[in-house]
Structure 1
Amino acid sequence: MEEPAPMEEPAFRPTHVAPPDGLASWAAPDPEQPASPLDALLPLQLIGRAGDWAQVLCANGWTTWVDGRLLISLPGIPPTATGPPSRTADPRPALAEAEGALARYRSLLEDLAAGGADLETFRDRAHGLRVGLVVDGERLWVFDPVHDRWCFCDGLQLHTYAVGARPRPPAERPSGADEPTRVAEP
C-alpha cells in the first residue's frame, strides 16, 4: 500500500484581514500614491514592513501597501495544551503611560494655578503631551501615543480602534514600536 503524498504548503497563507470597513491602499509606502481600496475582511498575507506601512499580498495575487496599524491578525497555530494561551497586548502598560501623562499634566496645572508658571510657560511645558482615556464599565478606550492610535480593551487585550494619522516612514517611527497587531475574533 502506498503512503499518501504529503500535503503541500499553500502558496497563499493569510496572516491578516482588512478591517470590517475596508482599507485604503497605496502603490508604494507614500501617501501621494493612492491605489484602489481593499474590500472589508479581505484575506491578506503580510510580506514586508516599512515603519507604519505594511506590504501585503491579497488573496487575488495583488500586492499593495497599507497602514499596517489597521491590519487584523489572524490567529496562528493554536497553542498546545501544555500552557495557557497568551494575550496579544496587555492593556496595563498603556494604562501606566496614560497615568503618567495625566500626572504630568496635573502637575503643570497646579504649577500654573499656584502662580509658579505663566500661561506661555504652561503651554511650552505641555507641548507634545498627549493622553486619552475613557472607561465605561468593563470597556476601556486608551490613547497609545507611541503608536499614535486609540485602542479598545475588552478586558483581555487591546485592539486597535482608530489611528491618528497616515502611516509614518521607518525613519519617523519610534524605536520599539513594532508590536503585533490585534488578533481577529472567532
Structure 2
Amino acid sequence: MTKQQPPGFRPTHVVPPNGMPAWETPDPARPTVPLDPLLPVELVERLGDWGHIRCANGWAAWVDGRHLIAVPKDPPAGDGPPAGTADPRPLLARAEEALADYRSAVEELAAGGLDGQSFGDRTRGLRIGVVLDGESMWVYDAEEGRWLYGDGRRLHTYATDRTPSDEDTGHAPTRFTAPKGEP
C-alpha cells in the first residue's frame, strides 16, 4: 500500500456495486481495507487476474481485476443532447447538501455533541462521490445508484448498480501468472 498523490489521476474503472476486498500485494495472505462500492479507481497494472489500482487520494492496492467495471476511455460527447442526459446542477446541489450534512455531523462529533453511535446514525445513508478533472466530472447519483460523466453541460451514465456478470466471490484470484520473461 502506498500513499503518494498520483499525478493526473483519471479513473479507468469503478469498484463493483457491492464493494470488493483488497490486498497490500498480489498475495491472498496480505489483506487490507476493502474498497467502497462504485469507488472510481485507476488500473495501473495487471498480473494475471490481479489488478493493481490507485485511488484519487494516492492509496494503492491489489484487487481481483476481473470484477472491476471499466469506465469508457473517451467519455461520451456529442453535438446535441442525447436521450437520458440531465442538467448536472441538481446533482451537484445534492452532493453539496450531503457534504454539508456530513461536515455538520463531524463538527458536532468533534465538539462532543454526538457520540460514535449517534454519529453513525446521523450519517447513515449519506453517500457522495465527485471527481473533477478540468472540464470533466464524474459524480455519483445516490438516488439512482449510478456514476455519471459530465462535461459541464450534460451528464451521461457510465456505471450503474448492477450485479457483475462474473459472481463476486469475495476472495483473491486463484491463478498467478508470471509476467512475460520470468520463469
Q: What TM-score bracket applies, with the shorter chain setting the length?
A: 0.3 to 0.5
- Which of the pair is proportionally richer in strand? 1
For CA contacts below 8 A with separation 6 or more, give which structure has more relative contact order: 2
